[in-house]
Amino acid sequence: MSNFFNINADGSNPANKYYDFATSFCHDIKIVQSFDIIRESSIEDSFGKSGFLTSKDILTDLSLFFNLMLTTDTTLNIARWEHVSYFQTKGYDVTSRTDVDISPLESDKEKIDSELFLMAQPTTDNFYKIKVKYNVPDLYKEENEKKYQVKKFLTDVFSTLNNKKFEGSEYEYLFYLLSTDGTNIIGLNNQFSMNSIFRNLHDLNRPYKTGQIGDTYTDFAGFSIGLETTIKFFSSVLTWDTLFPFMSIKTDIGTFKVDTSEVNEKGLITLKCKK
């Protein structure tokens, strides 16, 4: 089930800009072989010229690209595949409880210089990559860049269509991820450039409040201040089921994002959380 992709949608998604984007561009996605675009006008068809896609490839790459999370919804006994913002609107409130054990807050914020998001192979910069630089105030820090790369997909239709420059073997085994209205590609697929995808779907859970993209400083919709804690309380398995990673736990000292959750045979729930 996925409200993001409109697969057996149940309307439980939040009303936010992430799902507005999905409604406009992600409900009729098509996947095609690379040479169906790169050699579109060729007399010889491209069947057999592309590689193979496994279900793991699709789940891994699309989750990374669209900032999605796949979980088991134990209430409905289904797999749920949604944008991370879906889970942030759900969780558990323990502010009225007196038996909650919250460990002292610790700061373990990682010093990240920049984040680099990449498609499978280079095309034009706007489609292929986006780099977010952070102003980390530590003169003696070691350089630390986080890199995230989609392995199997291209999206740059306009620049690669019938372009011999991209007929190399490194492109042959890839696939195109296309935003369509069910029949035609929408807007030359520009909404699926890495630049567009990051700005529309990845401005949550950034390591800092502000980042520099090109010459522009951008304030993100959500960021981590680097505080970690462990929260423990006794409850039922039904409560534990509402505390998947990325969901929230509201306490007297603030709201935290759940990183991991465990429950033992006595009903003790242990949550590793970040703020």
The tokens for 59 are: 């789940």
Identify whether 57 is part of a domain. yes
Element spanning 17, H or E: helix 17-25
pLDDT of residue 43: 57
pLDDT of residue 242: 58
pLDDT of residue 237: 59
Identify whether 12 is part of a domain. no
Identify whether 258 is part of a domain. no
Identify whether 246 is part of a domain. no
| Number of domain units in the chain | 1
pLDDT at 259 over 60: yes
Q: Distance of CA 151 to CAs 62, 65, 71, 106, 177, Å? A: 10, 10, 22, 35, 12
pLDDT at 266 over 70: yes
pLDDT at 262 over 90: no
Identify whether 3 is part of a domain. no
The tokens for 161 are: 């269509």
Identify whether 264 is part of a domain. no
pLDDT of residue 233: 85
Give the model confidence (pLDDT) of 49-75 as tens digits: 667 889 999 999 999 999 998 877 666
Least confident of 18-22, 64-68, 254-258: 254-258
Give the model confidence (pLDDT) of 99-130 as tens digits: 888 888 776 666 788 999 999 999 999 999 99
Spatial CA neighbour of 229 closest among 256, 209, 207: 256
Identify whether 139 is part of a domain. yes
pLDDT of residue 125: 93
What's the whole-number average pLDDT of the chain? 85
pTM, rounded to two decimals: 0.82
Identify whether 113 is part of a domain. yes
Determine the structural domain holding residue 217 and report its residue range: 17-86+108-224
pLDDT of residue 71: 79
> Burial letters for 61-91: b for 16+ Cβ neighbours within 10 Å, e otherwise?
bbebbbbbbebeeeeeeeebbbbbbbbbeeb
The tokens for 73 are: 């919804």
